[in-house]
């Protein structure tokens, strides 16, 4: 029930959505058919294009995928012709106020946009090339993917730091596309991902063929999934180093270990014989930079081991984009995540908070329970759209719950992967490559879930050759 854009901007009550990715765009899609004509959606994103995280790691490695992971973000693609709703992109929200947001660039003659309700769906950030740089145009983003494909092709020894979802997936992509490279995956935990039960050496993991275990809450990850991913790593020739961390050097330029600063030399001597022998041979220490290295460098681990690499991939370090909340009210943060109540409204521990039930936070940036995956972002978005409508109609708000089904699947190249699905109180099913490949399909839902979320006037497609 939308009306044509005949009114002045002031005639509308704005629903400002910050972030036009999975959570923000889904909120808009659920609001559009139901909003009364006096309300309009302003969907804001810092980037001028939408990108599909679900296949980006393939695009980082495999040529031909770089032009299948992004779509220009325009009003015409997102909203129907004649609708009052608008996309404002690229434009970054710099500041949050009690009833308005401040933009980097003016919109309708002002950088300040008043709102009736605001939805923060700003997600999380990761280093290049896992995510586009903030200021990149779509062309620059595509070019950065081509560059990473070329660099990975040239590398002989790849080290992936972090065996969470991103680290495991990129290691699998590289190993299956370039089977002759030496691959090493380093992870701080006892098993890949974040197994619920510490995988004490005295308690070996259950094998995948064993029956479902019961879980009454959604666990970070099932230990059997760690085991299955480890098995695939072995099959793909990926060396996995667990319970260890890479030491980030404090010097920036690549330095031979013999030229390390005093404090770094101290550290090297503390690490024991491995690094001491590296020092004697004049090997080159890793300088902390990611991507293709100018030569073979040595990463030092907390255990004292050193690992050789000429390509270093940052598979960890995801940070919630919660700065706009932190700036106005640190009490509204829970760790780095935006603290939300049972309705996904921002709540604060500060007595003088600006948050008074008018702002929602959803998706990867919020503190709601559950895995930080697309399913959670979509689910939170649908709940929030329903509750905004409830508020407009003066109805009681509905509470957020995880739902009875949650899970994740991790591809490791086109033909391998593993995942888990938790069926409420019934328990968790862990599956391997056959089901992962079958569930994700060859395009990992690009047409249905990425292209398909664009409901605007301007139609388009992403073509696949297979």
Residues in contact with ligand FAD by the rule CB under 6 A: 18-24, 44-47, 53-54, 56-57, 92-93, 121-124, 126, 130, 166, 321, 324, 363-365, 372-375, 377, 408
Q: Which long-range CB contacts under 8 A does 397-403 form with residues at least 24 apart?
A: 397/343, 398/343, 399/342, 399/343, 400/340, 400/342, 400/343, 400/344, 400/368, 402/218, 402/369, 402/370, 403/379
Peptide bond just before 90 cis, omega within 30 deg: yes
Q: Which is nearer to ligand FAD, 126 or 254 (CB)?
A: 126
Helix axes 138-154, 53-61, angle to 10 degrees: 50
Q: In what order do the strands lie in the sheet with 359-361?
A: 86-88, 39-44, 13-18, 117-120, 359-361
Q: Which is nearer to ligand FAD, 249 or 370 (CB)?
A: 370
Residue-level length of the chain: 466
Q: Which is nearer to ligand FAD, 236 or 285 (CB)?
A: 236
Q: Which is nearer to ligand FAD, 284 or 333 (CB)?
A: 333
Least distance from C-beta 125 to ligand FAD, angstroms? 7
Q: Which is nearer to ligand FAD, 27 or 306 (CB)?
A: 27
Q: Which is nearer to ligand FAD, 20 or 155 (CB)?
A: 20
Q: Cβ atoms within 10 A of the Cβ of 264, count?
A: 18
Residues 6+ positions from 402 with CB-CB distance below 8 Å: 218, 369, 370, 379
Q: Which is nearer to ligand FAD, 22 or 158 (CB)?
A: 22
Least distance from C-beta 51 to ligand FAD, angstroms? 8
Least distance from C-beta 370 to ligand FAD, angstroms? 10
Least distance from C-beta 32 to ligand FAD, angstroms? 17
Least distance from C-beta 306 to ligand FAD, angstroms? 28
Which residue has 């702002």 as its token pair? 359
CA-derived radius of gyration, the chain: 24
Least distance from C-beta 45 to ligand FAD, angstroms? 5
Q: Residues 92, 107: contact at Cβ < 8 Å?
A: no
Quickly list DSSP for 364-378: GGB--SS-SSHHHHH
Least distance from C-beta 114 to ligand FAD, angstroms? 17
């Amino acid at each position: 029930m939308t009306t044509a854009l005949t009114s002045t901007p002031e005639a509308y009550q704005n629903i400002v959505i910050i972030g036009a990715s999975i959570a923000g765009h889904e909120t808009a899609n659920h609001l559009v058919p139901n909003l009364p004509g006096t309300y309009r959606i302003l969907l804001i994103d810092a980037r001028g294009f939408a990108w599909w995280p679900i296949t980006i790691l393939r695009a980082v490695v495999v040529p031909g995928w770089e032009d299948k992971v992004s779509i220009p973000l325009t009003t015409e693609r997102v909203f129907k012709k004649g609708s009052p709703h608008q996309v404002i992109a690229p434009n970054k929200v710099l500041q949050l106020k009690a009833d308005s947001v401040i933009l980097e660039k003016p919109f309708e003659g002002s950088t300040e946009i008043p709102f009736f309700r605001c939805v923060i769906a700003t997600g999380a950030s990761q280093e290049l090339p896992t995510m586009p740089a903030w200021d990149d145009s779509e062309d620059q983003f595509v070019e950065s993917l081509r560059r990473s494909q070329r660099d990975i092709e040239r590398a002989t020894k790849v080290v992936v730091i972090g065996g969470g979802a991103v680290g495991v997936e990129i290691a699998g992509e590289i190993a299956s596309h370039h089977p002759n490279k030496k691959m090493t995956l380093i992870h701080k935990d006892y098993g890949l991902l974040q197994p619920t039960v510490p995988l004490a050496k005295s308690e070996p993991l259950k094998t995948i063929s064993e029956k479902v275990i019961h879980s009454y809450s959604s666990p970070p990850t099932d230990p059997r999934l760690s085991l299955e991913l480890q098995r695939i790593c072995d099959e793909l020739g990926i060396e996995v180093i667990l319970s260890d961390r890479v030491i980030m050097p404090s010097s920036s330029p690549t330095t031979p270990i013999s030229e390390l600063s005093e404090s770094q030399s101290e550290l090297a001597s503390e690490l024991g014989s491995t690094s001491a022998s590296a020092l004697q041979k004049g090997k080159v220490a890793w300088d902390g930079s990611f991507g293709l290295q100018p030569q073979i460098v040595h990463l030092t681990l907390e255990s004292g081991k050193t690992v050789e690499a000429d390509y270093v991939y940052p598979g960890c370090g995801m940070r919630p984009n919660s700065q706009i909340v932190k700036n106005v009210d640190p009490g509204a943060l829970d760790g780095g995540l935006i603290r939300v109540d049972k309705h996904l409204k921002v709540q604060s521990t500060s007595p003088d908070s600006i948050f008074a039930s008018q702002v929602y936070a959803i998706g990867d940036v919020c503190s709601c329970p559950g895995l930080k995956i697309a399913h959670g972002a979509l689910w939170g978005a649908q709940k929030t759209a329903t509750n905004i409508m409830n508020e407009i109609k003066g109805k009681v708000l509905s509470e957020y719950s995880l739902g009875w089904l949650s899970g994740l699947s991790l591809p490791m190249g086109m033909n391998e992967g593993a995942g888990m699905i938790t069926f409420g109180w019934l328990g968790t099913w862990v599956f391997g490559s056959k089901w992962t490949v079958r569930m994700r399909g060859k395009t990992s839902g690009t047409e249905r879930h990425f292209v398909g979320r664009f409901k605007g006037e301007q139609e388009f497609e992403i073509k696949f050759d297979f």
